[in-house]
A and B are shown apart, each in its own frame.
Chain A
Amino acid sequence: TQLLEQSPQFLSIQEGENLTVYCNSSSVFSSLQWYRQEPGEGPVLLVTVVTGGEVKKLKRLTFQFGDARKDSSLHITAAQPGDTGLYLCAVYNNDMRFGAGTRLTVKP
């Protein structure tokens, strides 16, 4: 059983659509991070959330940390082809652990 469960595993949408991806766990964490990875590159940090219920916005991306600090969501408004990539959540649990990711494809 993975520490972090991400869903959906794959998502393919048209440009302009909205979407939400999820990162869930049964454990409580002091913080949670979201990374985006493009083909042939390493992951790049998008955001860190630290407070239960916290909402952070990064242009068209909205990140929320669950009230109990066990889960998080990433919402993208009006998705664009440039949003295509693998979205990974990660937590510190004695060391840094990652979920398996959601692979998003945005078609023009």
Chain B
Amino acid sequence: NAGVTQTPKFQVLKTGQSMTLQCAQDMNHEYMSWYRQDPGMGLRLIHYSVGAGITDQGEVPNGYNVSRSTTEDFPLRLLSAAPSQTSVYFCASSYSWTGGEKLFFGSGTQLSVL
């Protein structure tokens, strides 16, 4: 059972570089989301999707782009990395988006921007 798979596990970028964090789930979940986790701040929602072709902004969307062309994949793009984007990023999915559903998380990507 793969569940939610995130790659890479670790990444170091220089300021201004771009990159894509990959997220894939094999559970046919409608809802997928990206969070960042910083010390003392908990998990903050970046972007989310309630189905293929549908995305929306969360609490902290600036500096990040997403797209959802398939049910399985939900990549997160950093167009021009900044030191403030140093964080641990988690992708999560759930069967539906109606609330109260169990969220399944990937194991995270630790990103450092120098």
Contact = CB atoms under 8 A, between A and B. Distances in A.
Given A6-B42, A42-B4, A96-B92, 17 more contacts: A2-B42, A33-B100, A42-B105, A43-B105, A45-B102, A88-B42, A90-B43, A92-B98, A92-B100, A95-B48, A96-B99, A96-B103, A98-B44, A99-B42, A100-B40, A100-B42, A101-B42
Interface of B: 4, 33, 35, 40-45, 48, 56, 58-59, 90, 92, 98-100, 102-103, 105-108
Nearest to A91: B99
A20 interface: no
Contacts of A31: 99-100
Top-10 shortest CB links A-B = A42-B105, A92-B99, A100-B42, A98-B43, A31-B100, A98-B42, A45-B102, A42-B90, A43-B105, A101-B42
The interface centre, meaning the residue of A6, A43, A92, A99 with most chain B CB atoms within 10 A of its CB, is A43
> Interface size for chain A: under 10, 10 to 19, 20 to 34, or 35 or more residues?
20 to 34
A48 interface: yes
5 contacts: A43-B105, A45-B103, A48-B102, A95-B45, A99-B42
